[in-house]
Amino acid sequence: MLCPRDRVCVRKSGGGGFAINSGSKFIASAPIYGAAGGLTDGGFGRFDNQLDAVFPTANGTVNWEAIYSIGYESHHELALIGKGLHQESLQRQRHAILLLPGLLRGRFPDLFDGMIIGAPAIHYGQQQVNHLFPDVVEQTIGYYPPPCELEKIMNLTIAACDSRDGTIDGVLTRSDLCQLHFNINSTIGQHFSCPAETTSENLKKHISVSYSTPAQNGTVTAQGALAASIMLDGLHTLYGKPAHIWYQPGAACSDAETQYNSDTDETSPAYDVLKEWMELGWKCYADSLQTQWPDLTDFRAAGGKIIHYHGEIRREHPDRFLGPLHYHESVRTTVYPDVSYNESTQALGDWYRLFLVVPGAAHCELNPYEANGPFPQTNIGVMIDWVENGVFPTTLNATHLAGDNVGANAQLCAFPLRPLWTNNGTTMDGVYDQASIDTWQYDFDAWSLPLY
Ligand code: CA
């Protein structure tokens, strides 16, 4: 790739399970900004190989070299090589902008001038096991809601909470207000109807599976509302201590979907067993994949800047929204101990900008259930302007990619400010709302150690 100017962009995996990169679709945007981009194969043999191509090793043991490679080492090396080549060609000062690092923070504090973090994977141990949580909820209460029932609850939640952000546009921008004011039991008795359908998906590129779902008709039951309510509360131990987080209200409950024609006969573990599995993953991958190191003092001292953005209504990974939000708060209390909330938030916001949230967005993309929400498209340009020209991103530039306002610009608020529209939805302000902020604060009492 040509290196027309003095910038290097490194692309980390954007989720995608075990993927070490996301192909060329993201680095292709680097030259637009006069930057160079690069990919790594992580040492997995091919650029389209994922971790599972080399993990576990043939004798069934952990391939630690591959784990540390996907954890951070391959991206460290990619950045060094990219900067070196760039310097060789231009003999100028280089800046490195890392996209979606997730796993690199806390290491190599002076390697990157800026980090653009979208939907980072944090709390690996908890995150993976958490996918099983809704299944355990359903088995524990002895009720398996039809997918159409959960979808109805989601649609009713969005409809009921849509206007709380000040504009009725089909986008639930303030899930915090929904959490405070919406009673999920109000969905009980509402009629749902879905046609028969067959869907298919590829599991890690290896196996194609399809699911057939018959036509569904019925009304939302008290048990269905109860299942959704317990899931939204997140995993608690049998003694009622919170172990982790789940979706925000209004999210599609894809993990909770029951499937018809299943020929398996497996039993689910109890809540406390899930917690034990989470702890096992945490211990096993604490220094590679857990990615919760909160002390970014050195990164800040080196002048590093962070743009962290995230979809509020996650579909695929419930805690990959709230986990990173909790991490942001952990950085605040670690770097600025014994300082008031407002003072430390102000100080952190000078170099670590959390854009909470992309209204209605899902994982790292548009949410098909709320297409009127915008999505940020110019993050590299925003970061380059911040690093090189001192243009501070008070809000984050975004664009409506679908829905009623395609092509229109939008500005996203930085946490803890939350968007609120007035004047019939024509004026958006970032408001400070303590009750809202309090809904995003978590104490994970189930653990004997801090979960940052
Ligand atoms: Ca709305």
Residue with tokens 């309090």: 438
**Cis amide leading into 416 (omega within 30):** yes
Q: Identify the bridge partners of residue 25 per DSSP, sorted by sequence position.
A: none
167 CA to centre of ligand 1 in angstroms: 5
Task: Look up residue 381 and give its two tokens.
Answer: 């340009």
Distance of CA 359 from the midpoint of ligand 1 (Å): 9
Task: Output the six-digit token pair for 140.
Answer: 């524990």
Measured between alpha carbons, how far is residue 408 from residues 3, 108, 362, 372, 378 in Å?
Answer: 31, 38, 19, 11, 14
**Entry pTM:** 0.85
Query: Could you give the CA distance from residue 393 to residue 383 in angstroms, rounded to a whole number?
Result: 8
pLDDT of residue 92: 44
How much is the pLDDT for 34? 76
Q: Note the Cα 58 to chain centre separation in Å.
A: 32
What spacing in Å lies between the alpha carbon of 360 and ligand 1's midpoint?
9
Query: Residues 415, 355: contact at Cβ < 8 Å?
Result: yes
In three-state secondary structure terms, 398 is: strand
Cα(271) to ligand 1 centroid in Å equals 35
Token representation of residue 225? 């509302």
pLDDT number for residue 369 = 59
Convert 158-175 to b/e letters by CB count within 10 Å (16 or more is b): bebbbebbbbebbbbbbb
> Which residues of the chain register pLDDT less than 70?
1-16, 25-26, 87-107, 201-207, 252-268, 313-322, 357-372
Neighbours of ion ligand 1 (CB under 5 A): 162, 165, 167, 169, 171
Per the rule left: phi > 0, alpha: psi between -120 and 50, beta: everything else, 397 is beta
pLDDT value, residue 447: 95
| Contact indicator for 410, 60 with CB cutoff of 8 Å | no
Q: Delimit the domains of the chain by residue range.
A: 9-123+290-438, 128-280
What is the distance, to the nearest Å, from the Cα of residue 338 to the centroid of all Cα atoms in its chain?
29
Q: How far is the CA of 26 from the centre of ligand 1 (A)?
A: 30
Tokens of 108: 């190599």
pLDDT for 254 equals: 63
Neighbours of 285 (CB within 10 A): 17
What does 249-290 look like in DSSP terms, one character per residue? Answer: TT---GGG---TT----PPPPPHHHHHHHHHHHHHHTTTTT-
The enclosing H or E element of 311 equals strand 305-311
Q: How far is the CA of 164 from the centre of ligand 1 (A)?
A: 7
Q: What per-residue confidence (pLDDT) applies to 258?
A: 64
Residue 226: strand, helix, or coil:
helix
Which one-letter amino acid corresponds to residue 358?
Answer: V
- The reported pLDDT for the residue numbered 262 is 47
Instruction: Using the mean position of ligand 1's atoms as its centre, give its distance from the Cα of residue 371 in Å.
Output: 11
**Distance between CA 283 and CA 275 in Å, rounded?**
12
Q: Give ∠ CA 81-47-39 in degrees, rounded to 5.
A: 35
CA-based nearest residue to 99, from 10, 199, 207, 197: 10
